[in-house]
Structures are given as C-alpha cells and as structure tokens.
A and B are shown apart, each in its own frame.
Chain A
Amino acid sequence: MAAVALVDHDTRHRDFDDFVARRREPAALLERRRQALERFESLGIPTPHWESWRFTDVGALAQLQFCRAANIPVDAGVLPSLEAPCQRLVFVNGRFVPGLSRLDALPGKALITTLGQALLTHPELVEAHLDRLPGLEDHPFAALNGAFWEEGAFLYLAPGVVLEQPLHLVFYATGADTVNYPLNLLVLEEGAQATLVEDFRGDGRYLVCPVTEIHVGVGAVLEHHKVQEESLQAWHLGGVRLRQDRDSRVRAHLLSSGGLLARTDLFALLDGEGVECDLNGLTLVGDGQLGDQHIRVEHAKPHGTSRQLFKGVLQGKSRLVFDGLIQVRQDAQKTNASQNNRNLLLSRQALANSNPRLEILADDVKCNHGSSSGFLDPDALFYLRSRGIGESEARAMLVYAFANDSIERITLTPLRQRLEALLTQRLCPAGGERRPS
C-alpha cells in the first residue's frame, strides 16, 4: 500500500476505503470506523497551541509518511518475556502471530482471543463493549486507531471468573516508517479477576497508536501493566480508557522508557460506589526522548479512592510531561483522591513540565496533589562518596532509591525484576556496576 502522510486528507481517505473494503466487517462496525475517521478529520494533528499538547510537539511526525507493514517474520528472541506461566498473545506490526502466542486451557467462561476472532465467534460480546467507554474523545491518535485498527486482544471474563495466570500482550513493531493501531478490549464481569501486561517494543522508526478499553465490573479486580520500551526512533501515542463499577479495584502501572516521543493518555472513570483506583507511573527518559503521561481520573460516585504516584527520571537532553487531572463530580461525596508527581533531573539540559490539576464539585472530599522536580541531593551524594563509593555508583544508588518505590509496587515478580534490571542498565550503561538490592 501507499505511504500516507498524516496531513494528507485525500490519500488517507483512499487508504481507508481500500482498508475497509478488504476487511468486510459488519455495517455497524464500519460505521464506527467512519465516525472515528471523521473525528480525526475534525480534530486534526495537534499543535503546541492545543492546551493538552502544549509541551508535546508532534510537528515532526506530521511531516513523515507512514505505511502499514508487510507481514515480517520476527525472531521470538527479540520479544519481551514474562518468564512465568502466562497466557500470551503476540502482535507484530499490529497483526496477530499465532506461532509466537500461547493460550493454555482456560477456566470455563473465560475467553482470550483476538478482537478479529471474537468478532466472528462472539459478535454480541464485542458489540456490547467495543467503543462504549467515555474518554479520549479529543485524542486524534485514538481517533485514528478507531478508524484503522487491524487487530488486538479480546479478554472476556464472565462473572466470578478468576484468571490465574497473567495475560501477556506483546506488541512488536518493525521500522521503516510503518504504522500500526492495536486495539484491545478487556471485559471483567462482576467479581472477575485478572492480571494484564501490555508490553510494547520494536525496532526502527515507526508509529504505534494503541488503545486499550477496559470494563471493570462490580467487585472485579484488575492488575494492569503497560510497559513501553519502544525503539528510540519510534513514536508511541496511545490511550487507555477504563470504567470501574461499584467496589471494583484497579491497580495500573504505566512504565515508560522507550520511544523518541511516547505519550499515554489514561482516563479512568470511577463509576460506582466504593471503587479503588491506584495508578503508579515511572517514566525514564534519556537524551533526545520525550515521555508524556496525561492522566484523568473522574470520580462519579461516592466513597471512591484514587491514588496517583508518577515518577520521572530524566537524563541528558530529555523532556518529561506530566498532566494529571482529578475530577470529582457533585455527588461523589467522601471521595479520597491523591496525586503526586516527582521528577528527578540528572542533567541541566533536562526539562520536566508538571501540571497537576483538581476539579472538585463535591464538598465533602479529601483531595491532595503535589509536584516536585529537582536534582540529586548533593549532600547525599557527598555522604556516599565520603564512604568510598565512587561517584557514578553513588549517583546510581540515589536514582535507584528514587525510582525504587514505583518498581516495588509491582507485585508481578518477573516483571518487577525485569524493570529493576532495565533501570540499572539505564543508570549504568557500562554494566560494570552491581544492582542495588
């Protein structure tokens, strides 16, 4: 297929017509795709004049031409592994690769498959949940995903079903100037429980715009991880939207270290009483990278608890953006919400833009937010060095200490160990230093 520049309206529409003609999907789905495309056309490519894209300039992206990749075989060795028993779906350049995936026997009433397959076998389940959640309406790249998604994961857990093994979703992309739009749909009915890892990696220059939609039913429990380790030339512009019903519990970890420019917009709607939502973010950016987390947590019902802790470590000439909004609707009394963004700047050329925000319409709530960005404490550094610890190791120890409480919140042990190793490798690229433990 032809390469399409994001700014080129006509080619895009021809491409869209070709794309949907080949897919032969139900009319209702096609209509959703058309609406998403129209939404993209009316939104356009973000510019720094947009409030929500003020610090995240995607102007360079608009100049590039991207095409969907051909089917390229990928060596299993380059894919991230959980090194633990898990259900695993692998997508390469947005397409499902059965040979690299593994689905073991599932408990009854649990369904793990691809979205495309689910459309054939369980169309009513897909139809009932796909594109039904609020959030990301103003996100142009989520709109593109809505128009052009090819494949993604579909998880359905009927009431009371507990998924014992984590579900590992691997998204691998290969450059040269390819684009893919994974779309995942996850449904946890009442009392269901699951652990989910979305793992993004790739090689070369590409654009990936993933969207994950999560329905969390009454009393359901979800441990979610989004791990972004894209290629350093890649653009990752993704979104997560989730809705939590009464007494449900979600812990979501957003771990971001790759990409030339990587942004995740997460919208959590706490739409039932007594909901708990914990968001734990860790972003590592190095020379030339920009990492951006846009978080919106909306408390719609009383007695909800949300906690956000987002940490950033900036090396070299890097940028970090954090934008966090807590919204408390009028009848969401007794809400308890907190938000904290802390950034550690390891270089004078690094820049963090932090924008914590509160919008509170209820009067009986406990909300707090805070933000701080700073350099390593020179007194602590001197203290360590005065005991014989070399400067680079001392710095690594302090950075590790800063980031570690984010990593420690990850209860999925193999993933936590992988991230510990990643952090160490980023801090001591020479590999000569030991890992603090």
Chain B
Amino acid sequence: MLEIKNLHVSVEDREILNGIDLVIRSGEVHAIMGPNGSGKSTLANVIAGRQGYEVTAGEILFQGKNLLVMDPEDRAREGLFLAFQYPVEIPGVNNLYFLKAAVNAVRKHRGEPELDAMEFWDMIHRRMELVKMDESMLKRPVNEGFSGGEKKRNEIFQMAVLEPRFAVLDETDSGLDIDALKVVADGVNALRGAERGFLVITHYQRLLDYIVPDHVHVLVNGRIVRSGDKHLALELEAQGYALYNTEPGRARRASA
C-alpha cells in the first residue's frame, strides 16, 4: 500500500532523513518510535506533502502511484490522511462546512455523487459517536479554542469521516490524558481493517498499549535502525534510545 524506498530528505540543506526504507501493506499497523529530533515528523510531513522539505533521493509509492509528485489535496483524495501533531486553528471556517467540503472533494475524486445535507448529517452523527465528540464542536470554527485533547479528537473524527485507505498519526498521543488517549485509540481501532493501513508515530510506548501495532520501527538520526514486532516497543520503553547512539534534537534544530 505504501512503499518508501531509500528516502532522503533535507530541510534548508540539512539532511534529516537519510535513507528510509519501509513497506506497509493493507491491514497493517506500523509504529515508528524515536527520540526527539530523529526525523519522525519530517517523515509524516513528507508523506502528506507539506512544503519546505526537499526530497533529495528516493521515492514513495502509494497504491503503486508516485506520491511525491502529487499535491497535498490529491494525496488526500487518493486516500491518504495525516493526523497532525499540532492541528491548526482556522478562525472563521466552520468545522461542519469544512468537513463537508473535504468529504465532497474526496467523493468527487472517486466519482461518487456529493452527499446531500441529510446524508451528510447522518454520516457525521455516526462518526461523532465513535470519538465521543460533542455536537457543539461542529458548529465552532475549525479547532479554534479547542483544548489539546479536543484538537486531537477532532483529527480522529475527521479521519473517521474521510475514511482514508492509509493514515499517518503524528504523535497523536502527545498532550493527551489517559481518558482522551483511550478515546482516540478506540477511534483508530474501530477503523482498523483489512483495507486500511496505519503509520503511528510516537515518542512513547504508551499509545501502543491501546493501538497494538503489527510492526515497530526505531528511527534514529533519520534512519530506521531496528525493526521488530510489538515487543520492541516495550523493550524501548525499558531501555530508552541510548543504545542507538543518538544525537538528540538533530532534525528539530535543523527545522527550527
């Protein structure tokens, strides 16, 4: 589903990712763990198509198509979703209106008819229950004045509404208390299925107690230094990243 081959990425002439190889198949959940500044968020942003990252070598294929030549909106329409580490507040843009525009853009791309107001509302209601979202949040501007937990929940809610084929969760657990974390994890688990892949990026093992991954990769200094199954996460939690000779803050400093 997603194939990353020898991916090298620079930010302002500083190499952040140097040679990532990763294959994620339909139905799989992969976790990427790593210390601060190892390049985790860079990988998420490059997959989603944010500007400011230069791919100096390698490629990313999504369902066999070259992802890197696509605009961010085309990636989304093809079924890619990024749950942001820091969801953006957009004053003046109503959450519901925004969602409807997104849903219909994706449907149009798939050759499906736009949803009418009733169908849309029904669909939204079912998804809201999934992440225990309050209806009042829909009427507010996108993320404006939302708490940290509400913003992350809104990301998962959007994912549930857009039904992507592949989702990247960029440190969705950061800033969440345990109850919010469970809600987010339940939302993700409900969407797991044979047709869908996930890449879960996290600093801590805690999230992986609730979203149990099929594979765990350790990213250090822009390289995957080790891969394993879910037990690797527990091992990392016990031992930390010191084993991997890290140089903390490398990517973060470069991108700052």
Which listed residue (B48, B92, B105) contacts A404, Cβ 8 A? B92
- Tell me which of B82, B97, B101 contacts A386 (CB under 8 A): B82
Q: Which residue on B lies nearest to A402, using beta carbons? A: B92
Contact A389 B105 (CB under 8 A): yes
B63-98 CB mask vs A (1 if < 8 Å, else 0) is 000000001110111000110100110111110011
Near A by CB (< 8 A), chain B positions 133-185 give 141-142, 158, 162
Question: Across the interface, do A389 and B93 meet the contact criterion of CB distance under 8 Å?
Answer: no
Query: Is B51 interfacial (CB 8 A cutoff)?
Result: yes
Q: Decide if B71 touches A398 in the complex (CB within 8 Å).
A: no
B51 contacts A388, C-beta separation under 8 Å: no
Contacts of B109 in A (CB 8 A): 388
- Most chain A CB neighbours (cut-off 10 Å) among B72, B81, B82, B98: B72
Tell whether A400 is near chain B: CB-to-CB under 8 Å: yes
Check B72–A379 contact: CB distance below 8 A: no
Contact A390 B93 (CB under 8 A): no
| Contact B88 A379, beta carbon cutoff 8 Å | yes
| Distance, CA A402 to CA B105, complexed state (A) | 22
Please tell me if the beta carbons of A383 and B71 are within 8 angstroms of each other in the complex.
no
Chain B residues, CB < 8 A from A382: 50-51, 72, 88
- Which of B51, B94, B97, B102 contacts A387 (CB under 8 A)? B102
Establish whether residues B71 and A385, one from each chain, have CB atoms under 8 Å apart when the complex forms: yes
Interface hub of A378, A386, A437 (most chain B Cβ within 10 A) = A386
Residues on the A chain within 8 Å of B39, using CB? none
Tell yes or no: A74 within 8 A of B by CB.
no
Given contacts A379-B88, A383-B84, contact A388 B50 (CB under 8 A): no
- List A contacts of B88 (CB < 8 A): 377, 379-380, 382-383
Q: Does A383 lie within 8 Å of B90, measured CB to CB? A: yes
Contacts of A378 in B (CB 8 A): 51
Contact A397–B98 (Cβ < 8 Å): yes
In the complex, which residues 377-435 of chain A have their Cβ closer than 8 Å to any Cβ of chain B?
377-380, 382-391, 393-394, 397-398, 400-402, 404-405, 434
Q: Do the beta carbons of A388 and B76 come within 8 Å of each other?
A: yes
The answer for the CA separation of A290 and B55 in the assembled complex, in Å, is 42
Contacts of A397 in B (CB 8 A): 93, 98, 101
How many Å lie between the Cα of A221 and that of B82 in the bound state? 52
With CB as the reference atom, state the residue of chain A lying closest to B102: A387
* Contact across chains for B162 and A387 when beta carbons are under 8 A apart: yes
The answer to whether A389 touches B92 (Cβ under 8 A) is no
Cα A398 to Cα B90 with chains together (Å)? 8
Which residue of the partner chain A has the closest CB to B142?
A: A383
A interface secondary structure, majority = helix
Q: Decide if A48 is an interface residue (CB 8 Å cutoff).
A: no
Q: How many residues of B contact A (CB 8 A)?
A: 31
* Size category of the binding interface on chain A: 20 to 34
B106 CB-CB contact with A under 8 Å? yes
A143 CB to closest chain B CB (Å) equals 41
A382 to B51, CA, bound (A): 8
CA distance A382 to B92 in the complex (A): 16
Question: Is B34 close to A, CB under 8 A?
Answer: no
Q: Hey, what's the 0/1 contact readout for A355-389 against B, CB within 8 Å counting as 1?
A: 00000000000000000000001111011111111
Residue pair A386, B92 in contact (C-beta under 8 Å):
no
Query: A107 an interface residue at 8 Å Cβ cutoff?
Result: no
Report the Cα distance A430→B50, complex, angstroms. 27
Whether a CB of chain A sits under 8 angstroms from the CB of B37 is no
The answer for the CA separation of A388 and B48 in the assembled complex, in Å, is: 11
**A residues less than 8 Å from B102 (CB atoms):** 384, 387-389
The CA-CA distance from A427 to B149 in the complex, in Å, is 34
How far, in angstroms, from A437 to B92 measured CA to CA in the complex? 11
A376 CA / B254 CA spacing, docked (Å): 24
A394: B residues at CB distance < 8 A: 73
Q: Are B101 and A389 in contact (CB under 8 A)?
A: yes
The reply to whether A388 and B105 contact each other, CB–CB distance below 8 Å, is yes
| Contact (Cβ within 8 A) A387 B93 | no
B100 to A, closest residue via Cβ: A434
Min C-beta distance of A405 to chain B, whole Å: 7
CA distance A428 to B50 in the complex (A): 24
CB of B213 within 8 Å of the partner chain:
no
The answer to whether the Cβ of A134 comes within 8 Å of any Cβ in the partner chain is: no
A380 to B141, CA, bound (A): 12
Are B97 and A437 in touch, CB under 8 angstroms?
yes
- Interface contact B93-A391, CB-CB below 8 Å: no
Bound-complex Cα distance A388 to B108 (A): 10
* A382 CA to B84 CA, complexed, in Å: 11
Residues of A within 8 A of B75 (CB): 386
Given A384-B90, A397-B93, A402-B92, also A390-B105 (CB < 8 A): yes
A85 part of interface (Cβ distance < 8 Å)? no
Are B93 and A398 in touch, CB under 8 angstroms? yes
CB distance from A424 to the nearest CB of B (A): 13
Please judge, given known A-B contacts A378-B51, A380-B88, A397-B93, whether A387 and B71 are in contact too, CB under 8 Å.
no
A386 to B70, CA, bound (A): 11
Q: B-side interface residues toward A, CB under 8 Å?
A: 48-51, 71-73, 75-77, 81-82, 84, 87-88, 90-94, 97-98, 101-102, 105-106, 109, 141-142, 158, 162
A-B contacts, 6 listed (Cβ < 8 Å):
A384-B90, A384-B93, A385-B71, A385-B76, A390-B105, A436-B94
| Beyond A382-B72, A386-B73, A436-B94, 12 additional pairs, beta carbon < 8 A | A384-B90, A384-B98, A385-B72, A386-B50, A386-B82, A387-B98, A387-B162, A388-B73, A388-B162, A391-B71, A394-B73, A436-B97
- What 9 A-B pairs have minimum CB-CB distances, sorted nearest first? A401-B92, A388-B76, A387-B102, A385-B72, A388-B105, A383-B88, A385-B73, A388-B106, A401-B93
